[in-house]
Homo-oligomer: A and B are copies of this chain.
Amino acid sequence: MSLPVMSKIPFGGDYNPEQWDEGVWDADYRAFDLAGIDLLTVGVFTWALTQPDEETYDFGTLQRILDRAHAEGRKVCLATGTAAVPPWLAQRHPDVCRTDFEGRRHLFGVRHNACASSPDYRRLAAAVAGRIAERFADHPAVVAWHINNEYGGLCYCENCAAEFRLWLQARYGTLDRLNDAWNTTFWSHRFSDWEQIVPPNMLSEHWRGPNHTAFQGITLDYHRFNTDNILRTFLEEKDAIRAHSDLPATTNMMAIYRHLDYHRWAPHLDFASWDNYPTDGSPVSRMALSHSLMRGLKDGQPFWLMEQTPTMTATRDFNPVKRPGVMRLWSWQAVAHGSDSVLFFQMRHSKGASEKYHGAILNHAGRTDTRAFLEVAALGAELETVGDRLLNARTPARVALLFDWDSWWALEISDGFSRAAKYEAQVVSYYEALWQAGAVVDVVPVTADLSAYDVVVAPFLHMLKGDTATRLEDVARRGGTVLTTVMSGRVDEDDNAFLMDVPGPLGDLTGIRVDETDSLPPDHSQPVVLAMPGGAERTVAASHLFDVVQLRGATAVGAYTEDFYAGTSAVTRNAFGEGEGWYVATCLDQDGVDWVVRRVLERHGLVGPFADVRDLEHTTREVDGRRYEFVLNHAAVPVAVDSPFAGVDILTGRTIGEGDALELGPADVLVVEAR
C-alpha cells in the first residue's frame, strides 16, 4: 500500500459542513471553486452524528457531503470520526473515559478522550470504522481513509494497568527478567506478583511530574506500552476498514510529538501524514526537520501535509496571523521536503466552541475577499499549474540524522546531570546547522539502513539499542563520518547503565573516555575554542553539560577554557577505519554546532550551494529521472545569489541558466526543474 492515487497535489483540507445548514454548503462550494480546492477531509469529529446511540447508525449527512463533493469533482479523505467519543458512550460505558496522570478518572468532555484499553471503546470504534468503510468503500469521491485524529496522551486506569501487565509479560516473560531490567533491588521494589505492578504516575512512582520517576524502567516501558496500546486501536479500525476497502489508510500525526514513538507505527501506516502547527519562535528548520522525520517513517516515501492553519491558531496564549506570503512559503516547504499534498484546517470558521477563533479559509462572514482567502486561492491556482510533476518524488540524501524516541524518553525521565538539557532542543540545533549548511538530510530511526549515508549525526543518543553502535562504526569504517555528543552511549535498552567507560559502546568509535560530567544551570556558560589543523580558530559558548574527556586515540578539535577542566577537550575527532568518529562533549551554542557540522560536511563535499546565505533554504526531490531544486527565502529581506543549476522554474515558467542571478524577495519560492 502506498499513497492515494492523485493527478495533482491535492489542495483543500478539513471540512465540517455537518456544523452548518445545507444552505451554507452552496456558498462553500462556490468558494472552493474560486480557490481551486479539490480535496476535502470529512468526518473527523462525527461519531455523535453517525452513531446517535449504541444501536443506531446514521450516515445520511456523510452521504450528502460525499455526494456533493463528487458531484462537483472533489475528492474526499474520509475519517472514521473516533477521536472524540459521543456523550452517550461516556454515559453508558464510563470506562471509555481516561484516568489522568494525577490518578483522576475523567468524565465526559473535550476530545482525544478515550482510553485505548477500554474494551467498549475498542469494540465500538472499530465497529463504526467498519460501518463507514462498508458504506463508502466504493464511493467515487473517496481516495483515502483517515483513522481517528492526532492520537496522543496517556491513560492510567485499571484497564490500562491490566493491559500493561499483559504487555510486560509479553516483553519480559518472567518477573525475574523484569526485576533485572528495572533494577528493582534498588529501593526494595522487587516484584513477586505481576498484580503488584501499577501504572507509573503521581500516585505511584512519580514525584514532581511526568519526568520525575523513581524507576525509569517502568516509566519508559509505560511509554512504549502506551505507543503500542494506542496503535492497537488504530490497527483494529484499519482491520475493520480492510474488510471492505483497499484504499490507503493513514492517521494525522504530529511529527516531533513525544508521547508516541511513530517509528513503531510506521510499518502499519499505508502512508504518513501530519499536522504542521509550529509554535511561534521555533526555527523554520524545525518544520523541515518535522517533514523529514515524517518522510523517514516510510523509507523516504512522500507523505501528506494533512493540516496547517491558513491564518492563525487558537489554543496558544498568543495567536499571531501568518504574515503575507508565509502560508504559501510554508506550503511549498512541505512539498520541498516530501509532502504530496497541501491541506488546511479548516475550510470555514466554526461559529462556536473552542476553535471559533481558529483560522479558516472562509471567515465568519463567509468572505472570499479577505487576505487569507485570496492567498489560498492564489496558491490553489499555482498548484494547478504544477500538476502531477512533483508527485512521488524522492529526496536524495547523503546525510542522516538519527531520531530516537527511546533516547528522548530515557534521557528526560532520568534523574541526574541537567534537567535543562533537552533532547528535542539538541536535535533541533544539529538539524538547524545541517539546514543552514544546505545539506540534504534524512531523519531516520536508529534501526535504519545507514549504508547510503556519508554522514550520520546522532545528538544525545542516550540509549544504544541492539547493534546500533556496530552499524555506526560501519559508517566510519567505510569512510563516513559519525558525529555524536555528550549524553550518548549511556544506557542499554533497559535504561541500565553500560558497565564500562562513557560513552559506552561508542568508546572505540570516538576514541575517548569520560569519567565525570559536570552539569551547571543554564545561565552558566564558558568559552570553548574550536580549531582544525591549519584552520582558523573560533570561540563559541558551552553550557549545561561538560564531559571531562580523556583522549584515547582521538584528537582535540575544541577545548574548554574555564573551571578545573580548562584545557581538556570539548570536541574531538577520531580516525576510525577510513572515516572519523566525532564527539561533542558539551552543549555548544548554535554558532558552535554550526561550526562543527560545517567541518563534518566539508569533509564529504556536502555543504549546499547557499550555505552562506542565512535562511535561504535549498533542497531537492527527484522522480522519474527529473530533478527539482527548491529554493525558499525564509529571511525577512530579499536575497540575490548566482544560480548553481540550470532549468525552468515550474511556478513561473521562467528559464534559469547556471550562473544566472536569482533574486528572491522575502517568502519567495523557486521550484526549478533541472535541465
Interface string of A270-309 (1 = CB under 8 A from B): 0000000000100000000000000000000000000000
Instruction: Contact check, B364 vs A214: say whether CB atoms are below 8 A apart.
Output: no
In whole angstroms, what is the CA distance A573 to B350 when docked? Answer: 30
Interface string of A491-534 (1 = CB under 8 A from B): 10011111111100000000000011111110000000000000
A residues 417-435 in Cβ contact with B at 8 Å:
417-420
Any B CB within 8 A of the CB of A445: no
Instruction: Contact check, A189 vs B517: say whether CB atoms are below 8 A apart.
Output: no
Residues in B neighbouring A517, C-beta threshold 8 A: 321
Interface string of A467-507 (1 = CB under 8 A from B): 00000000000000000000000010011111111100000
Residues in B neighbouring A46, C-beta threshold 8 A: 188
Q: How far, in Å, is A36 (CB) from chain B's closest CB?
A: 21
In whole angstroms, what is the CA distance A498 to B349 when docked? Answer: 11
Any B CB within 8 A of the CB of A195: yes
Given the known interface contacts A53-B192, A193-B88, the answer about A320 and B519 at a Cβ–Cβ threshold of 8 Å is yes
Residues in B neighbouring A214, C-beta threshold 8 A: 109-111, 353-354
Any B CB within 8 A of the CB of A104: yes
Q: Which residue of B lies closest to A106 (CB)?
A: B203
Given the known interface contacts A81-B188, A353-B217, A516-B372, the answer about A104 and B105 at a Cβ–Cβ threshold of 8 Å is no
Instruction: Contact check, A415 vs B323: say whether CB atoms are below 8 A apart.
Output: no
Instruction: Contact check, B318 vs A418: say whether CB atoms are below 8 A apart.
Output: yes
Instruction: Contact check, A189 vs B48: say whether CB atoms are below 8 A apart.
Output: yes
Residues in B neighbouring A81, C-beta threshold 8 A: 188
Residues in B neighbouring A193, C-beta threshold 8 A: 87-88, 91
Any B CB within 8 A of the CB of A357: yes
Instruction: Contact check, A496 vs B416: say whether CB atoms are below 8 A apart.
Output: no
In whole angstroms, what is the CA distance A109 to B203 when docked? Answer: 8
Q: Which residue of B lies closest to A563 (CB)?
A: B323
A residues 27-77 in Cβ contact with B at 8 Å:
45-49, 52-53
Q: Which of B280, B318, B518 contacts A321 (CB 8 A)?
A: B518
Interface string of A72-100 (1 = CB under 8 A from B): 00000000010011111011000000000
Any B CB within 8 A of the CB of A655: no
Q: Which of B104, B188, B200 contacts A48 (CB 8 A)?
A: B188
Instruction: Contact check, A518 vs B320: say whether CB atoms are below 8 A apart.
Output: yes
Q: Which of B190, B312, B494 contacts A86 (CB 8 A)?
A: B190
Q: How far, in Å, is A209 (CB) from chain B's closest CB?
A: 12
Instruction: Contact check, B109 vs A190: say whether CB atoms are below 8 A apart.
Output: no
Instruction: Contact check, A521 vs B207: say whether CB atoms are below 8 A apart.
Output: no
Any B CB within 8 A of the CB of A7: no
In whole angstroms, what is the CA distance A517 to B371 when docked? Answer: 12
Any B CB within 8 A of the CB of A317: yes
Instruction: Contact check, A417 vs B357: say whether CB atoms are below 8 A apart.
Output: yes
Instruction: Contact check, A371 vs B516: say whether CB atoms are below 8 A apart.
Output: yes
Binds B, one of A178-186, A397-405, A594-602: A178-186
For this complex, into which size category does the number of interface residues on chain A fall?
35 or more
Any B CB within 8 A of the CB of A319: yes
Any B CB within 8 A of the CB of A329: no
In whole angstroms, what is the CA distance A517 to B364 when docked? Answer: 13
Residues in B neighbouring A183, C-beta threshold 8 A: 19, 350-353, 356
Q: How far, in Å, is A101 (CB) from chain B's closest CB?
A: 12
Residues in B neighbouring A315, C-beta threshold 8 A: 415
Residues in B neighbouring A206, C-beta threshold 8 A: 109-110
Q: Which of B105, B352, B497 contacts A356 (CB 8 A)?
A: B497
Instruction: Contact check, B215 vs A366: say whether CB atoms are below 8 A apart.
Output: no
In whole angstroms, what is the CA distance A320 to B193 when docked? Answer: 39
Given the known interface contacts A190-B49, A365-B500, A515-B363, the answer about A352 and B415 at a Cβ–Cβ threshold of 8 Å is no
Residues in B neighbouring A195, C-beta threshold 8 A: 91
Residues in B neighbouring A91, C-beta threshold 8 A: 193, 195-196
The residue in A84, A106, A416 that gathers the most chain B C-beta atoms within 10 A of its C-beta is: A416
Q: Which residue of B lies closest to A544 (CB)?
A: B318
In whole angstroms, what is the CA distance A48 to B267 when docked? Answer: 41
Residues in B neighbouring A367, C-beta threshold 8 A: 501, 515
Any B CB within 8 A of the CB of A358: yes
Any B CB within 8 A of the CB of A163: no
Q: Which residue of B lies closest to A24 (CB)?
A: B499
Q: How far, in Å, is A503 (CB) from chain B's closest CB?
A: 11
Instruction: Contact check, B104 vs A516: say whether CB atoms are below 8 A apart.
Output: no
Q: Which residue of B lies closest to A499 (CB)?
A: B364
Listed in ascending order, the chain A residues whose CB lies under 8 Å from chain B are 16, 18-19, 45-49, 52-53, 81, 84-88, 90-91, 102-111, 181-193, 195-198, 200, 202-207, 213-217, 280, 311-312, 314-315, 317-321, 323-324, 349-358, 363-367, 370-372, 414-420, 491, 494-502, 515-521, 563-564
Beyond A108-B196, A312-B516, A363-B515, 14 additional pairs, beta carbon < 8 A: A48-B190, A86-B188, A87-B189, A102-B104, A108-B198, A109-B204, A110-B187, A110-B205, A111-B188, A213-B354, A217-B353, A354-B415, A357-B415, A364-B500
